[in-house]
Structure 1
Amino acid sequence: MKASLCFIACLLSFSAAEQDERLPNKCEVCKFLTTELQSALDKTGRSKEVLELGEVLDTGKRRRKIQYNTSETRLTEAVDNICEGILQYRIHAERPGSLRYAKGISQTMSTLKNLVNKGVKVELGVPYELWDEPSVEVADMKRQCENMLEEYEEVVEDWYFNHQEQRLEKFLCETHVLRNSDSECLKETWKGDMGIKESAEESEKEWIEGKEGKGQTDDAGEL
């Protein structure tokens, strides 16, 4: 019974967590900006394509050739709409700090949807069809990402052409963006959520069994 009550309290607190006014800080924005940009660059890092630079109709001059994977074109293509990728993140309320931002459905939301599928009425204050929409926090991170990318455009270019021996996160975030700010979020790494998953599944099972024990299985429960 105690575990069930804890589980219900956890679920009820989820709505508040989703609407938390604690918007992403500068460290978190830089962390995920560099994650997305590095991921985009990694996809084209081994390209053997060669670009020819110069006017097509300029037959009097020899066109210059350059490797795509070291070209400005590759960087431009990677940067274009990079902050749109932020909208794929979701709030994982069961995780601490910057780790609450991750792609894919959160364990808490997965549990809530499982309850809905079992006929339990779950009220989060927003329509069910909007549960998968980006949260206020994620939308704000996208906005901050765009502003940060514009402000530090030259720094990103400097790293790309001259300092790729350094990690992008270290060069952009630690050395420039967060030079006089808190950078603790950069040290946060996720080590897996199996423990959280098992705990949530056990609590859900106990909660459902508790409803069954009270003869409430015929009607949809309400949370």
Structure 2
Amino acid sequence: MLFYITIVSLFDLSTGLSSNPEVSLPTKCEVCRILVYEVLQRLRETTSSQSLLVSSTPTGSKSIKYDKSELRFYNVFQEPPICNRMLQYKLHKERTGCGRFHKDTPETLRSLRELVQRGVDVKLDVPLEMWDQPSVEITSLFKQVK
């Protein structure tokens, strides 16, 4: 019975954020689209025409192109881990759909930074030091990919 209560409590905690009208967690489709985009980016970064020596026998050796090797697959996902790239995204509340997740700084945050640089005293619920920290939506994106 205690186990059941613990699971229900954890479920309530996890769904509590999604019931908040200000927090719109990423859907599975958004997560998938961003992950595919990042994988394609890494595939473009790791492209090479080199061949790898797979096995060597007295009768000959076998080589595989790097582009079709398992090593490339490993490098795409693990060196550095692809899920860490999700933390580079920023949430753009002024946009809708998958466009709300992008790597550049949101217009709202950019405007607030300009005001701070001009000397205007900006009061928000979030301290200035935490402006660059990932939001709840970005953290959820990271956890769903991981």
* TM norm structure 1: 0.52
1:124 partner SS: coil
Q: Does 1:78 align with 2:76?
A: yes
Deviation digits for residues 110-135 of structure 1 (CA, Å, limit 9, x no counterpart) = 00000111111212212211101111
Q: Which amino acid aligns with 1:50?
A: S
Instruction: Report the Cα distance in structure 2 between the residues aligned to 1:20 and 1:41, rounded to whole angstroms.
Output: 35
Which residue is equivalent to 1:99?
99
Q: Which amino acid aligns with 2:115?
A: L
User: Would the alpha carbon gap of residues 66 and 110 (structure 1) be closer, same or farther in structure 2, given more than 3 Å must change?
Assistant: same
Structure 1 stretches of 5 or more lacking a match?
1-18, 147-223
Deviation digits for residues 154-194 of structure 1 (CA, Å, limit 9, x no counterpart) = xxxxxxxxxxxxxxxxxxxxxxxxxxxxxxxxxxxxxxxxx
Q: Which amino acid aligns with 2:101?
A: Y
Distance apart, 1:59 and its partner CA: 6.3
Higher strand share: 2
Instruction: Report the Cα distance in structure 2 between the residues aligned to 1:95 and 1:111, rounded to whole angstroms.
Output: 16
* TM norm structure 2: 0.78
Instruction: Report the Cα distance in structure 1 between the residues aligned to 2:145 and 2:57, rounded to whole angstroms.
Output: 43
**Percent sequence identity over aligned pairs:** 39
**Between Structure 1 and Structure 2, whose CA radius of gyration is higher?**
1
Instruction: Report the Cα distance in structure 2 between the residues aligned to 1:130 and 1:27, rounded to whole angstroms.
Output: 28
Which residue is equivalent to 1:183?
none
Which residue is equivalent to 1:135?
135
Equivalent runs, 1:1-223 vs 2, <5 Å: 20-45=22-47, 47-54=48-55, 60=58, 62-80=60-78, 81-146=81-146
Instruction: Report the Cα distance in structure 1 between the residues aligned to 2:23 and 2:60, rounded to whole angstroms.
Output: 58
Q: Which amino acid aligns with 2:52?
A: L
Q: Which amino acid aligns with 1:113?
A: R
Between the two proteins, the alignment pairs up a number of residues equal to: 124
Which residue is equivalent to 2:15?
none
Deviation digits for residues 86-128 of structure 1 (CA, Å, limit 9, x no counterpart) = 1000011121122110002111100000011111121221221
Give the CA RMSD over aligned residues.
1.8
